[in-house]
Structure 1
Amino acid sequence: MPSQNKARNRANRGFTLLVALGVVMVVTMAVMLSYRVVGREADTQADTRRQKEAFFAAEAGLAEGREAIRLRLRNDQTYSRVLTDLNAAVVAELGIAGAVPAWRELLPGAGAGNWNYLSLSPASLQPTEKASGGGEPYVDYPEQNNVRYRVFVRDDVDDASETTDANGQVWIAAVGEVVNAQGRPTRAIVQALVSNQNAPVANSPGCASRGCGPDNTFNNTQDQSAPDTSVVRTLP
């Protein structure tokens, strides 16, 4: 009998050990699964944030490109001169080299690869921007140095020449990118067809069409709308 009880006790202890090992294994697997789910959720949120940053960078580049093309256009009715002036800026990088019509760099940046960086550092911020609403300074402030963009322009294929604009329209494309040190960058591309809104202007010599005299002033006998000088304000 004593030997049978010892054998039974050893069997019970062995079964308990197996159960304990099984519980530990199940808990370990649950922890590992939870860790994987949390990590995947964090990666998804990070990707979503980077996608938004890249899109906003592309939108900022597109807005800057529209203003740049407007300044280059001056009073022209077409973009022919603008495209010709950018012949030296034809992009020859892999993937878009040899495109017809060619892509031209509209806003070459100072960074590597002609990228424009949207940098943000505490040194460039006002003291109020680095403090809470109650005036308490932040202990640390995140820096932004991985967001960049490039802007291109090309003809809209309105004729056979890529530097002759016949309809006053060109394509502007902006690429926004968020550099990721742990993987490939996140990129967004936006483009817009820009139309020239400059209307031809015909000016008569001087202001004679409005009733002024040969000296281009209204201080003459032909004055049709004499100024009211009853109240005259002078600058201090």
Structure 2
Amino acid sequence: MTITWRMVRQEADVQGDLRRQKEAFFAAEAGLAEGRETMRLLLGNAETYNPAITALGAPASEPGLGSPTQPWYDVLPGASSAGDGWTPYALTPEDMAPSELASGSGDVYADYPRQANVRYRVFVHDDADDGDFTEDSNRQVWLVAVGEVVGGSGRPTRAVVQALITNDNAQQLTGPGCVNRGCGPSNSFNNTQDRQAPATQTVRFF
């Protein structure tokens, strides 16, 4: 009986760990998407990420995250009410539509997980484009998202995802009408430099 109980307990622990790993991964993915959008808004029309990084304030002071010569920055520093940099990933069934609280056949769920112990945190740091990690010169930075699930024992389960994001802002030449598509100053495709007269034969499409 004792052996059977231990096997059941171990199997439950394994299933719980797998569930927490998935929750942490999805939280990290959500953080990565929010962090990417935040960096896009901070970037504006700048050609490098330097203004966006400056807007994030002082580097993160967490142990193991960068150094004075290779700083990491909190992308969502004010998202948590606790002021610890973590953004809660909890669900609020009270604010969800009825269709989200029922199966496809319309059966209402008896209970709904609130994910009250799930959260994420997002960082950004310069890539290794040159020897200076404090300034972006190639319009690329690393975005790192950490998803975390805090278990009942206090031992967190974490997942980390990262993406190299590129700034596509660049100087562009624009002009009126169809000039950008190759037409002439008359806003037509009549080429006055053509040495041959245009063809006059009829072309039929079947």
**Gap change, CA 1:190 and 1:139, over 3 Å in 2:** closer
Q: Could you tell me whether the CA contact under 8 Å between 2:42 and 2:55 is conserved in 1?
A: no
Of 117, 120, 127, 1:149 maps to 120
Q: Give how far 1:133 is off.
A: 4.0
Unaligned segments of structure 2, at least 5 residues: 180-185, 190-206
Instruction: Please say if 1:51 is aligned against 2:27.
Output: no
Tell me which residue corresponds to 1:91. 60
CA 1:81–1:134 in 2, change beyond 3 Å: closer, same or farther? closer
Name the TM-score, length of structure 2 as normaliser: 0.77
Residue 164 of structure 1 deviates from its aligned partner by 2.2
What is the distance in 2 between the residues matched to 1:126 and 1:105?
33
Whole-Å separation in 2 of the counterparts to 1:194 and 1:45: 35
Using structure 1 for the length normalisation, give the TM-score.
0.68
Whose RCO is larger (CA < 8 A, sep 6+)?
Answer: 2
Q: Distance in 1 between matches of 2:81 and 2:59?
A: 18
Taking a change above 3 Å as real, the CA distance of residues 70 and 133 of structure 1, as seen in their structure-2 partners, is closer
Pairing 1:107–2:76 present: yes
Counterparts of 1:51 and 1:136, CA distance in 2: 28
Residue 74 to residue 117, structure 1, CA distance change in 2 (3 Å): same
Q: Contact 1:121–1:142 (CA<8 Å) still a contact in 2?
A: no
Q: Residues 91, 187 of structure 1: CA spacing in aligned structure 2 closer, same or farther, 3 A cutoff?
A: same
Report the AA paired with residue 149 of structure 2.
Answer: V
Residue equivalent to 2:161: 190
Query: Secondary structure of 2:145's match?
Result: strand
Q: Which amino acid aligns with 1:116?
A: T
CA contact (8 A) 2:69 2:134 kept: no
Q: C-alpha separation between the residues in 2 aligned to 1:94 and 1:199? A: 36
Aligned equivalent of 2:37, options 55, 62, 67: 67
Larger radius of gyration: 1
| Structure with greater proportional helix content | 1
Which position in structure 1 is the counterpart of 2:95?
124
Root-mean-square deviation over aligned CA pairs:
2.4
Deviation at 1:41, TM superposition (A): 0.6
Aligned partner of residue 158 in structure 1, secondary structure = coil
Letter of the 1:63 counterpart = A
| C-alpha contact 1:111 1:117 (8 A) present in aligned 2 | no
Q: CA deviation at 1:74?
A: 2.0
Equivalent residue number for residue 192 of structure 2: none
Query: How many percent identity over aligned positions?
Result: 51
What is the total number of aligned residue pairs between the two structures?
182
Matched, 1:80 2:61: no
Structure 1 portions without partners, runs of 5+? 1-30, 211-221, 226-236
Kept after mapping to 1: 8 A contact 2:177/2:187:
no
Paired residues of 1:101 and 1:157 also in contact (CA < 8 A): no
Amino acid across the alignment from 1:101: Q
Residue identity in the other structure for 1:95: G
Shift of 1:197: 2.1
**Offset at residue 54 of structure 1 (A):** 0.7
Residues 74 and 124, structure 2, Cα contact 8 Å, conserved in 1: yes
Task: Give the distance between the partners of 2:127 and 2:35, measured in 1 at CA.
Answer: 16
